[in-house]
Amino acid sequence: MTSEPTDTIAHRRNTDKRFTILCIDDESANLKVLASIFKADYQILISKSAKQGLEKAIQYSPDLILLDVLMPEENGFELIVKLKQHSELSHIPVIFITGLQNVDDEEKGFKLGACDYIQKPFNYSIVRARVHTHLEIIRQRNLLDKFAHFDSLTELPNRRKWENDTEEHWNLAIENTSSIIIGIVDIDCFKLYNDRYGHQQGDIALRKVSSSIKRVLFDYQGKIYRCGGEEFFFFLPPNKDTEIQLILNLCVQSVIDLAILHADSIATNVLSASIGAVQVLPSTTLTIKDTLISADTLLYQVKKSTRNAANFAELNTQGMLINKDGQLIL
Ligand code: GH3
Ligand code: MG
Ligand code: MG
């Protein structure tokens, strides 16, 4: 075992307390060494058995797992199989740390899904360098994921994320026989706003409008996505019709409360937004697309009348829109 190297610039740059490493080893001395190597840089969790390790992985969802191969009861090979089969844990990189010198064991570790294999006794610098390398890959993967799923102007999740999430929500709602609310927000007379105040001011307004609606929806466990230029899709969990209308009115009001002057608006004298939303009981006979078309129909009605308002209705299992008075909307 070599002595701990002095701190280097490269090492300091890699320090990131947001990362959590779970170390699983039946020998306390090994856990102590691993903790001492990483505790200045990362959050460290330790487990003395595979069983406890799995529990901690589920509870804390670490960024990286350092796993001993030889442990009594359940060994590291058995645990990695469970980790890779677990939908919430399978993405977590696992590095085996082992006293086994056998090439076949190393090959087995990789075949089971390990991303690296480090032999004991540890060389501090090598363990540290390898862990840093894997965390750097995770950092870059997270960044790519962020770019792929977030809109840089508003910092809201984007259409791609919406498509992933709606499908998940939709299938879960079918499983639980529970309804969901899907809606569309569209800024009123935004072309006229850009024309009068310039595109740059338009961008600033877009950011303000989206974050004000995001805040309201967040209070009711809702989530908003930027799915077009000045168009946003959102979810809300199921609720009483009167409560939903109230939440949607709060969203509309939150935009008015920003008091962004819009002298050319035909709706009012400040920037405003219109909303169309439907509550639906997802089933195999309806699709997310049908629901969005219905929300768009409701939005279009607002745009044709006052703008600066929210129009809400139920979409029944036959795909018909029914308003709060029980009347069919065409
Ligand atoms: P309506 O009330 O009927 O929705 O009218 P509108 O003018 O808002 O609708 P329209 O679809 O005619 O125009 C949308 C405008 O939104 C046009 C486009 O320049 C503007 N827009 C879209 N994306 C952005 C953006 O990222 N930044 C800015 N500043 N403007 C955008
Ligand atoms: Mg618009
Ligand atoms: Mg539009």
Task: Give pLDDT tens digits for 62-102.
Answer: 999 999 999 998 999 999 999 999 988 999 999 999 887 78
Residues with CB under 5 A from ligand 3 (ion): 186
Atom 13, ligand 1: residue with shortest CA distance: 191
Whether residue 60 sits in one domain with residue 87: yes
Same-domain pairing of 16 and 124: yes
Tell me the average pLDDT across 181-186.
98
In a domain, 154, yes or no: no
Q: What atom of ligand 1 comes closest to residue 201's alpha carbon?
A: 29
Cβ–ligand 1 contact at 266 (below 6 Å): no
Upstream peptide bond of 93 is cis (omega within 30 degrees of 0) = no
How much is the mean pLDDT over the chain?
91
Ligand 1 proximity of 34 Cβ (cutoff 6 Å)? no
Whose C-alpha lies nearest to ligand 1, atom 22? 229
How many domains are contained in the chain?
2
- Note whether 328 and 220 are within 8 A (CB): no
Tell whether the model's pLDDT for residue 11 goes beyond 70.
no
The mean pLDDT value for 28-41 works out to: 91
Structural domain ending residue among the three candidates 127, 149, 171: 149
- Is the same domain home to 133 and 211? no
DSSP code per residue over 198-247: -HHHHHHHHHHHHHHHHHHHHHTT-EEEE-SSSEEEEEE----HHHHHHH
Strand order in the sheet with 180-187: 223-226, 231-236, 180-187, 273-280, 310-315, 321-322, 328-329
Q: Residue 113 carries which DSSP code?
A: T
Q: How far is the CA of 287 from the centre of ligand 2 (A)?
A: 25
Confidence tier at 9 by pLDDT (50, 70, 90): very low
DSSP state of 5: P
Ligand 1, atom 20, lies closest to the CA of 191
| C-alpha span between 216 and 236 (Å, rounded) | 11
Positive or negative: CA dihedral 329, 319, 173, 171: negative
Residues flanking ion ligand 2, Cβ below 5 Å: 186-187, 190
Say if ligand 1 is within 6 A of residue 206 CB.
yes
First to last CA, the chain: 77
Which of 187, 191, 193, 206 should be mutated for ligand 1, with most atoms under 8 A from CB? 191
Q: Is 191 in the pocket of ligand 1 (CB under 6 A)?
A: yes
pLDDT given for residue 242 in this prediction: 87
Q: Is 151 in the pocket of ligand 1 (CB under 6 A)?
A: no
pTM recorded for the entire structure: 0.76
Distance of CA 286 from the midpoint of ligand 2 (Å):
27
Cβ contact 267:287 at 8 Å: no
pLDDT value for 56: 96
Domain membership flag for residue 1: no
Residue 256: give its domain's CATH number: 3.30.70.270
CA max distance for the chain: 79
Domain range for residue 61?
Answer: 6-149
Ligand 1 atom at shortest distance from the alpha carbon of 267: 2
Q: What are the tens digits of pLDDT across the range 234-269?
A: 999 998 888 999 999 999 999 999 999 999 999 999
Q: Tokens in use for 280?
A: 């639906």
- Is residue 199 domain-shared with residue 90, that is, in the same domain? no
Angstrom distances, CA of residue 310 to CA of 124, 262, 264, 276: 61, 20, 21, 6
Summarised one tens digit per residue, pLDDT across range 49-68 is 999 999 999 999 999 999 99
- Ligand 3 centroid, distance to 244 Cα (angstroms): 23
303 or 6, greater pLDDT = 303
Ligand 1 nearest-atom number relative to CA 192: 7
User: Residue 181 in 3-state DSSP?
Assistant: strand
Nearest ligand to the C-alpha of residue 268?
1
Torsion-angle region of 95 (φ positive above 0: left; ψ -120 to 50: alpha; else: beta):
beta
CATH number of the structural domain spanning residue 139 = 3.40.50.2300
Percentage of the chain beyond pLDDT 90 is 77
Cα radius of gyration (the chain)? 26
Q: What is the pLDDT of residue 275?
A: 98
Asked if 134 and 170 sit in the same domain, the reply is no
Ligand 1 atom at shortest distance from the alpha carbon of 194: 29
In a domain, 235, yes or no: yes
User: Is residue 321 in some structural domain?
Assistant: yes
